[in-house]
Structure 1
């Protein structure tokens, strides 16, 4: 994963961020990280139900929520946000925070509509990289009976333009100059023609 560099300048001073975590120490640490990013307007919340009321009364540019909240957990909060609220609120980017990055939790976070999943303990560099990614993210929102959230096929599309991929196999979204001649149509047709296989 590429680290954020000074050239990746994003002015977060005018951003409004909602931080939701029932653990006061985690919440304070998260707030300190965003103060370091230059975010002046932060709202800290220790309860998901209270967070749900807050997002209906004012606008936020980004929400970070812990998955293991008591009562309404982070998964239920994101499902509610994505399915029960009206646009543009339902499109607000949400980063899910988890203490255990088990595959099942990652899939559950993805399937409830989280924009990103970040494992604790948090590091400022990883969190900044995710915020920069979201700032450049051009994924469409999918709304259907079984899912509402950002297009989950991010692996197929690669990283946003100008961003480094998180995986070694990520392809760039930018198409370069051809390195060899185009195939003839007859060669293309031959590839799709049924072939007799001899045993």
Structure 2
């Protein structure tokens, strides 16, 4: 881990929602290793809802593999909470099966990222670091509430290298031709029908 990739998480509060006590303990130890002192563990969705009503959190990690899709439903519920600051917190979904359908479901319920199991501390820390730098806007409509889903169009956060071959770079290249004049720009924005 490089010096510039260091976060001070000592004052962060993290809510962990996982129905497996073993996995919940592993996640808790991982965040203790990151320096987090405010960790709340919830083995059920009902416990998580009670905790969300009583406290404000900086990060939430939810297991998507909870019975009946309860993890996905919990994220969707959080994003729809009115007048609760927790609706805007970054949410990581931990998922054992990262099939495209699960990734789409995570995106559509309002999660910021999906982290595939088995989780390593390095990957989890990288995702937390990525979330700290992320600048996607919160979007709300009749059918969706959460971070802007057009994630690919923004590329990686500033200073981060993308994982995809088509991620947008943060560097702008040198012009390769003459600048367009205003008439050429207008023609691009207002195309006209060709007359034969």
Distance 1:158 1:16, change over 3 A: same
Query: What residue in structure 2 maps to residue 40 of structure 1?
Result: 37
The answer (yes or no) to whether the contact 1:48–1:69 under 8 Å persists in 2 is no
Report which stretch shifted further, 8-17 or 180-189.
Answer: 180-189
Ranges in structure 2 where 5+ consecutive residues have no aligned partner: none
The answer (yes or no) to whether the contact 1:96–1:117 under 8 Å persists in 2 is yes
Alignment RMSD: 2.0
Query: What residue in structure 1 maps to residue 4 of structure 2?
Result: 7
Ranges in structure 1 where 5+ consecutive residues have no aligned partner: none
Which of 59, 64, 80 matches 1:62?
Answer: 59
The answer (yes or no) to whether the contact 1:49–1:72 under 8 Å persists in 2 is no
The yes-or-no answer on 1:18 pairing with 2:24 is no
Distance 1:99 1:72, change over 3 A: closer
The yes-or-no answer on 1:146 pairing with 2:171 is no
Report which stretch shifted further, 27-36 or 184-193.
Answer: 184-193
- Aligned to 1:117, the other structure's residue is in SS state strand
CA distance in 1 between partners of 2:106 and 2:172 (Å) = 34
Query: What residue in structure 2 maps to residue 93 of structure 1?
Result: 90
Which of 47, 52, 61 matches 1:50?
Answer: 47
The answer (yes or no) to whether the contact 2:18–2:62 under 8 Å persists in 1 is yes
CA distance in 2 between partners of 1:72 and 1:54 (Å) = 20
CA distance in 1 between partners of 2:69 and 2:180 (Å) = 56
CA distance in 1 between partners of 2:8 and 2:27 (Å) = 18
Once the two structures are TM-superposed, the CA of residue 72 in structure 1 deviates from its matched residue by: 6.9
CA distance in 1 between partners of 2:51 and 2:69 (Å) = 15
Once the two structures are TM-superposed, the CA of residue 153 in structure 1 deviates from its matched residue by: 0.4
CA distance in 2 between partners of 1:52 and 1:85 (Å) = 14
Write out per-residue CA displacement over residues 156-175 of structure 1, whole angstroms, 9 at most, x where no aligned residue. Answer: 11122222222121113x45
The yes-or-no answer on 1:27 pairing with 2:27 is no
Once the two structures are TM-superposed, the CA of residue 69 in structure 1 deviates from its matched residue by: 1.8
Write out per-residue CA displacement over residues 79-130 of structure 1, whole angstroms, 9 at most, x where no aligned residue. Answer: 1101134242210111011110010000001000001111100011111111
Give the TM-score normalised by the residue count of structure 1: 0.88
Give the TM-score normalised by the residue count of structure 2: 0.89
Once the two structures are TM-superposed, the CA of residue 184 in structure 1 deviates from its matched residue by: 2.6
